[in-house]
Structure 1
Amino acid sequence: MQKLLDNIRACTLCKDLPLGPRPIIRAQKSAKILIIGQAPGTKVHESGIPWNDASGERLRDWLHLDKDIFYDESRIAIMPMGLCYPGRVEKGGDLPPRPECAPAWHDKVLKELDNIKLTLLVGSYAQNHYLGKSKKKTMTETVKNWSDYLEKGYLPLPHPSWRVTNLIKKNPWFEAELVPNLRKIVKDLL
């Protein structure tokens, strides 16, 4: 596993990235939960610590985990769809994850992570990739039907950025049903 992680961290597939390549991944073979998100933002790129921003605070709140447990690689693996910061869109926001990243690395990492019991698919990029045709028409519908995916070991979540605030307000089931169930599942696994 360590050799694979070293190879990933040395990856230069995307030499043309605005801040240069800096693959962000955390994993150990013993991990039981895998978080697959979008791609690192600028704060994460600078620190090298995944979910080290406001989105990470919200995600940890949803999971009811403190930073010590969340960043315990022996329990929780973190692998975004794009391992490096992809850059910004002219009108604001980050570009999508680079398309060459997940095909280059995800299967290799997943073969090593044979103790994973739950994979959190955070945001539409992860859900599109891993749920394929089984996802619903919208991300909100996919997340609302989260229990449909548990049999395959997946639990879809929206990206926990500030943009999710309206989704949460319009869909009270998220905090009333999904979050308590998510917390129980995570607690039982850890």
Structure 2
Amino acid sequence: MTPLDVLLTDVRACTLCAEHLPHGPRPVLQCHSDAKILIVGQAPGRRVHASGIPFDDPSGERLRDWLGITPAVFYDPHQIALLPMGFCYPGTSKSGDLPPRPECAPAWRKKLLAHLPNLQLTLVIGQYAMAYHLPTVRGSVTEIVQGWRDHWPSVVPLPHPSPRNNLWLRRNPWFDEDIVPALRLRVAEVLGINASIF
């Protein structure tokens, strides 16, 4: 086993915040030292908790569309690392899923990122990912996404692809018009594949 394999075994056995997880711990992530793209989401939802597969839900379908890649590419750990800010489903509140547990990132994030020397692109999805990976950037999610060129080509801030964001996407057509085509080209460039522009 490689040192990363050992670390991933430890992560997947983690029970650090088990008492706060209404459905129990089930860390969901994807990671290999070959990965060229890092995707940072919030935390698994109920469906992903059940399947154990990252972004195995409508959010994942939309995200893959934004990136212009197939599920086969998305789920290839040699290409893409999937490390949400919280690895376990935190449960729900009246307004949606709870935030990622605060114990997770300090315990595991730096250790895992140290094993990803080949990253060329990091996609930060939503406010929790932005706060960690763009710590000096201030503003709302919309403002940070609007400033995407400030971080190009190594980091791209994105809104959450959840269906809950359908209204946001309708109100901000510039995202689909400007960012998505550029993102697809950048992903294709990093992965050495033909861009899917549609």
TM over 0.5: yes
Q: Distance in 2 between matches of 1:164 and 1:43?
A: 18
> How many Å apart are 1:163 and its aligned residue?
2.1
2:50 counterpart (22, 46, 51):
46
Matching of residue 168 in structure 1 with residue 169 in structure 2: yes
Secondary structure of 2:8 counterpart: helix
RMSD, aligned α-carbons: 1.0
Q: How does 1:105-116 map to 2 (within 5 A)?
A: 105-116=108-119
Asked whether 1:15 is paired with 2:11, we answer no
Gaps spanning 5+ residues in structure 2: where?
A: 192-198
Equivalent position to 1:138, from 137, 140, 150:
140
Q: Which runs of 5+ in 1 are unaligned?
A: none
Partner Cα distance (1:103, 1:149) in 2: 24
Tell me the distance in 1 between the aligned counterparts of 2:84 and 2:113. 12
| SS class of match (1:45) | helix
Of the three residues 69, 82, 98, the one matched with 1:95 is 98
Per the TM alignment, residue 130 of structure 1 is displaced from its structure 2 partner at its CA by 1.5
Q: CA deviation at 1:41?
A: 0.5
Counterpart of 1:141 in structure 2: which amino acid?
E
The alpha-carbon deviation at position 157 of structure 1 amounts to 0.3
- Partners in 1 of 2:44 and 2:133 — Cα distance? 19
Q: Report the alpha carbon displacement of residue 133 of structure 1 after superposing the two structures with TM.
A: 2.4
- Give runs of ≥4 in structure 1 deviating > 4 Å: none
* Partner amino acid, structure 2, of 1:64: G
User: Alignment identity in percent?
Assistant: 53
2:85 aligned residue:
81
User: Which residue pairs with 2:129 in the alignment?
Assistant: 126
Supply the distance in 2 between the matched residues of 1:121 and 1:72 (Cα, whole angstroms): 19
What residue number does 1:3 align with? 6
- With normalisation by structure 1, the TM-score equals 0.96
The amino acid across from 2:146 in the alignment is K
Count residues with an aligned counterpart.
187
Structure 2 match to 1:104:
107
Specify the alignment match of 2:183 in structure 1. Answer: 182
Deviation at 1:92, TM superposition (A): 4.1
